[in-house]
């Protein structure tokens, strides 16, 4: 329960999450599994979902604590390995995201942020979603999507993606970091959690 206690102490807007979310969080005992942490009043949900089943479960968790009115908007920070089912990972997550930051990872197997964005474009088109999608590089001014749209950004590193998420999020938003345990390690280390990378791995 450590992660849940940390976030509720610093981010009061999620103090009353649904019982289903609370139950799942109570089983969290290591970095990157439905882990809620708070940085400067902004809640982050870290989940190393790297297969479609796990991504679907994460999407349901987000709905439980977001669509219940606890959060204004979800910013998705996403990085994944080339050999994963990236389309299957994004399919349940894109519909509940207001902004997506695709990021490079410090591993040769990682898909590029531009490649991730192309896959996301295909997913949205395949789903028949005609909402406009904007794209910007992390170093550019943040892009706000038109009403009902998704803002797409690309970044060169997980640390840069986290910084962008923090600078573009407003009070009441939720930042979700997912797609790989490797992005969890990179992101947590950029936030000051040292030594996490070597303890995070993907078995399938």
**Residue at 159 is within a domain:** yes
**Residue at 42 is within a domain:** yes
Contacts of 112 (CB under 8 A, 6+ apart): 104
Instruction: Kindly report, residue by residue over 9-32, the tens digit of the pLDDT.
Output: 556 655 555 444 444 444 444 556
Instruction: Kindly report, residue by residue over 154-181, the tens digit of the pLDDT.
Output: 999 999 999 999 999 988 899 999 999 9
**Residue at 18 is within a domain:** yes
Name the pairing type of β-strands 35-39 and 74-78.
unpaired
**Residue at 204 is within a domain:** no
User: Model's pTM, two decimal places?
Assistant: 0.79
**Residue at 78 is within a domain:** yes
* CA 105 – CA 95 distance, rounded (Å): 24
Contact (CB, 8 A) for 74 and 98: yes
Closest CA to 175 of 193, 156, 153, 148: 153
**Residue at 122 is within a domain:** yes
**Residue at 13 is within a domain:** yes
Is 70 exceeded by the pLDDT of residue 75?
Answer: yes
pLDDT band at 61 (very low <50, low <70, confident <90, very high): confident
- CATH number of the domain residue 46 falls in: 3.90.190.20
| Burial class of 95 by CB neighbour count within 10 A (0 to 12, 13 to 18, 19+) | middle
Range of the domain at 131: 2-199
Of these ranges, 18-27, 54-63, 121-130, the one predicted with the greatest mean pLDDT is 54-63
| Residue that has been written with the tokens 């089912």 in this structure | 85
**Residue at 61 is within a domain:** yes
Domain count, the chain: 1
What would you report as the CA-atom Rg of the chain, rounded to the nearest whole angstrom? 15
Is 90 exceeded by the pLDDT of residue 146?
Answer: no
């Amino acid at each position: 329960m450590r992660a849940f206690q940390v976030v509720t102490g610093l981010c009061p807007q999620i103090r009353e999450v649904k019982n289903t979310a609370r139950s799942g969080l109570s089983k969290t005992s290591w970095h990157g599994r439905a882990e809620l942490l708070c940085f400067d009043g902004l809640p982050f949900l870290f989940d190393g979902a790297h297969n479609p089943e796990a991504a679907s479960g994460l999407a349901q968790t987000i709905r439980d604590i977001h669509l219940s009115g606890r959060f204004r908007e979800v910013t998705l920070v996403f990085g994944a390995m080339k050999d994963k089912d990236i389309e299957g990972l994004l399919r349940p997550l894109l519909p509940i995201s207001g902004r997506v930051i695709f990021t490079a990872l410090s591993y040769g197997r990682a898909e590029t942020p531009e490649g991730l964005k192309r896959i996301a474009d295909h997913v949205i088109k395949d789903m028949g979603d005609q909402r406009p999608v904007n794209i910007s590089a992390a170093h550019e001014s943040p892009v706000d999507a038109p009403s009902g749209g998704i803002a797409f950004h690309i970044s060169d590193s997980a640390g840069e993606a986290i910084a962008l998420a923090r600078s573009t999020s407003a009070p009441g938003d939720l930042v979700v970091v997912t797609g790989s345990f490797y992005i969890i390690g990179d992101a947590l280390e950029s936030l000051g959690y040292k030594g996490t990378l070597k303890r995070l791995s993907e078995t399938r």
